[in-house]
Structure 1
């Protein structure tokens, strides 16, 4: 469906000037990068549809992006804009009549969400909708699915807005709280005088060198550099438009914190390490099929032998938010007073190398992840990718820019994301949530890995192309098994002694 083409304001439009789309939002509206966000919400209780409609009207529907049409101006070269309009909540909240005690409810919800990834959003209304599924699954007594176009905002902005519309489950009057980032510590942070100047100069040299390397890597990827063809990499021609399967698993945040504290890393390091371990375990099993025909032999081979090819090039695209995070308190005030706040897709891309190997020491996955993350912190890669993309967009237009970005993404294997959630369980319009599982689809990749923290748990969310990865549940299981094996390796190494004296860890 084409965007709405208008020449003048309609009677039902709010009398404000049209607001142009940001460069990133324009890319997300292109045919080659037409991406949407899906957030699956598990509820401890049956969902009251009327309460949800009322809650949306009094909060999220007041946000300009959730109450604006996407329009183009043919008289101005097809300029894309947001135009305020009245929200008909009944067209946005969809609640099919279902049997609450239906059998195979988990499969039904998975199929329902998958069907949503194969249907576009109605461009005659603001680009979001909420589906309420009042059926009991293994992880919740009811499920809601929020679907919205990625041009509305990046993942961090959307999650912040969602939390600003929520309240603590234990205290309905209080807003959720997010973990606070720790300030960098260690020897160098306390350096002053000569050593401080030396450290600053050396850091800037590393930043410049690393940025040059990363920019050249980006250019090479746009021109010719491709990842190795593995069982996780699909063909870019039609994979972005194909139906996706979005599945999740829930793991313990305490287990991840234990590994983090024992190895003196961050939670992000541990999650990336688990990702590398899970992908390596899965691929080793897939490559084992070349030597072992039946499933039992394949399973035995994947556990006892290394069947991975040497020197696999496996990279992930990582969206990096360049805008300082808007506090959820500011967003809550904005929705209450209908005032303005900084918003939009101000994001850059980072190419993240993923190690595919079977090391003798499983903790090497976390060590390698820490080295990769620390290296990426010493680079302006995200800022440069954003700036270069903006220049290309202004000079050559949307079509050529989206082609370049499509080429870069399709030459990598997967997307990776990690979003920090609330420290305590929350209530969404009076409904106590059991889990939050966000993901994105529409990019030319067969796999997206997303980690979402929520209270004392972390939700692993995979968005996969089932034609490329038909056994996606096995991939989830390999991630879970990798966390357990890494945790056991920490315990066996005796590194947990440092953990026992620590309590109340915060997420880094």
Structure 2
């Protein structure tokens, strides 16, 4: 497909979608100090990168896709004349992997170096004593995770040196091979009609989420009054999670001990949920002494703990190759309950899978996407941003899982050792990616809220290993590498479970705490915390 020709003013005909325009203008109110929505993609290699090869490959993408050589102007994309990719590629010499991480952490909340250039840049951090890194930073207005992964398939190569193509990541594109007369297609069509009707019925529920209750305060999540302000402290820390064997996760999902239809994503989401519970127990959060496996607490008040799960709208292979259509933002968020109160890993997985399946069947993603599109086209910009903040600040985290190629690939001429991506957000952002038989990822969080983030990876590993043991999968097969730092941390934690600190909630009144201390009115402290997130949080604008 050839790139279309812009008009005399350099403007392309296709307009930005509501989501892309919303992101281009800054997704958050300026006074909240969140900066531009920048996605950082990390490509690690055991070899040094050649700058000339990076420049050449990025020029191919710039020549082939409108948004890679343009900047937003109004609601259109404008070609940047006289520009080449070399102006957006910079090499930085470093002495260690620690120095690389220092650079990444400092850069992740910064705006683009030159906003007059196309809104992406690559930093090459070559080290002679450790792994090297190609850091690709891109403004979210250019595209979502699926579209960015799709265009990179044109420069990522296999062992034979040929581009891997979209076929390497089948989940990225919608299937076009099924015949409309096949029994399966007829069943899908009937299911689609039911989903559409359900989606219409979900409009009131979905529309009220940004103005609904806040998630319950826990040791992992700050008090609702602070989240209601939604002001950025400017501090975000990237916490690396242990890498898991994709094959072991698949075996857990397919085990006869788990409900039929459990997916890899269900296993990962339940693992993250278990990590949260273990962290709260470790921090001495008394709320988790009363778990009953459902969403009710001992004092009869509703407990809220939810993740915003990213749902991307399906698109065809032709769309993902189109110079104008490939890069786009066609995604939404769905609020999914986290089974944090469930006491056992298998119970958490069962409840998680049921919640995710119900969301898929409900049509809420379709409803949310259309409400989102309508709001972005009709409401004032300030109101749209306020709604976005309200949605994010009311949830525990955003959870995303991007599928990657399951064989070794080469980027810019180098074998990719490990990929990843980082996105600072209003709430905590979980970013997972699967590649070459492993699942790796990170959590981008506020270190002032999660005080002991150093133990998160160990608790995630412990949760996944216990889950594997419950369903008959060897626990030792879960961890991708025995040298993972999470393994050593877990051994340390297991050896000294007494290393706990008491989490003192800001929301608990002093008087109520004193009553509990005297052995009277048990549960008052919990009730005050739950009330802050439940009844008192409902209907409050962010």
TM-score, with structure 1 as normaliser: 0.76
Question: 1:83-482 alignment to 2 at 5 Å?
Answer: 83-85=78-80, 86-99=82-95, 102=96, 105-106=97-98, 108-121=99-112, 122-135=114-127, 141-168=131-158, 170-175=159-164, 177-178=167-168, 180=170, 208-209=197-198, 212=201, 214-234=202-222, 235-236=226-227, 237=229, 239-240=231-232, 242-248=234-240, 249-262=242-255, 263=258, 264=260, 265-288=262-285, 310=297, 311-326=302-317, 331=321, 339-359=323-343, 361-441=344-424, 443-445=425-427, 447-482=428-463
Q: 1:492 to 1:154 in 2, by over 3 A?
A: closer
Shift of 1:70: 2.4
Q: 1:201 to 1:250 in 2, by over 3 A?
A: closer
What is the alpha-carbon distance in structure 1 between the residues aligned to residue 456 and residue 66 of structure 2?
39
Shift of 1:283: 1.9
Is residue 207–residue 371 contact of structure 2 (8 Å, CA) maintained in 1?
no
What is the alpha-carbon distance in structure 2 between the residues aligned to residue 30 and residue 318 of structure 1?
23
Q: Secondary structure of the residue that 2:157 maps to in structure 1?
A: strand
What is the alpha-carbon distance in structure 2 between the residues aligned to residue 38 and residue 222 of structure 1?
27
Is residue 312–residue 356 contact of structure 1 (8 Å, CA) maintained in 2?
no
Q: 1:364 to 1:87 in 2, by over 3 A?
A: farther
Q: 1:60 to 1:247 in 2, by over 3 A?
A: farther
The correspondence for 2:22, drawn from 20, 27, 46, is 27
Q: Does residue 41 of structure 1 match 2:43?
A: yes
The correspondence for 2:61, drawn from 59, 65, 73, is 59
Q: Which runs of 5+ in 2 are unaligned?
A: 1-5, 29-35, 176-181, 478-542
Is residue 315–residue 412 contact of structure 1 (8 Å, CA) maintained in 2?
yes
Is residue 451–residue 460 contact of structure 1 (8 Å, CA) maintained in 2?
yes
Task: Spell out, residue by residue over 1:13-69, the C-alpha distance to the aligned partner (whole angstroms, 9 max, x if none).
Answer: 984536432100122134443422111111121111222112211235542111112
Deviates more, 1:483-492 or 1:375-384: 483-492
Q: 1:453 to 1:60 in 2, by over 3 A?
A: farther
Q: Secondary structure of the residue that 1:348 maps to in structure 2?
A: strand
Is residue 243–residue 465 contact of structure 1 (8 Å, CA) maintained in 2?
yes
Alignment match, 1:500:
none
Cα RMSD after superposing both structures: 3.4
Shift of 1:228: 0.9
What is the alpha-carbon distance in structure 1 between the residues aligned to residue 190 and residue 137 of structure 2?
46
Is residue 273–residue 340 contact of structure 2 (8 Å, CA) maintained in 1?
yes
Shift of 1:208: 3.9
Shift of 1:440: 1.9
Deviates more, 1:222-231 or 1:233-242: 233-242
Q: Which runs of 5+ in 1 are unaligned?
A: 1-8, 72-78, 184-189, 292-301, 497-508
Shift of 1:397: 2.4
Is residue 207–residue 378 contact of structure 1 (8 Å, CA) maintained in 2?
no
Aligned length: 436
Task: Spell out, residue by residue over 1:440-489, the C-alpha distance to the aligned partner (whole angstroms, 9 max, x if none).
Answer: 22x321x1112210011111221112222243231122112211121122
What is the alpha-carbon distance in structure 2 between the residues aligned to residue 395 and residue 174 of structure 1?
42
Q: 1:261 to 1:327 in 2, by over 3 A?
A: farther
Q: Secondary structure of the residue that 2:127 maps to in structure 1?
A: coil
Is residue 405–residue 435 contact of structure 2 (8 Å, CA) maintained in 1?
yes
What is the alpha-carbon distance in structure 1 between the residues aligned to residue 93 and residue 208 of structure 2?
52
TM-score, with structure 2 as normaliser: 0.72
Q: 1:388 to 1:492 in 2, by over 3 A?
A: closer
What is the alpha-carbon distance in structure 2 between the residues aligned to residue 162 and residue 366 of structure 1?
33
Is residue 115–residue 243 contact of structure 1 (8 Å, CA) maintained in 2?
no
Q: Secondary structure of the residue that 1:351 maps to in structure 2?
A: strand
What is the alpha-carbon distance in structure 1 between the residues aligned to residue 246 and residue 473 of structure 2?
20
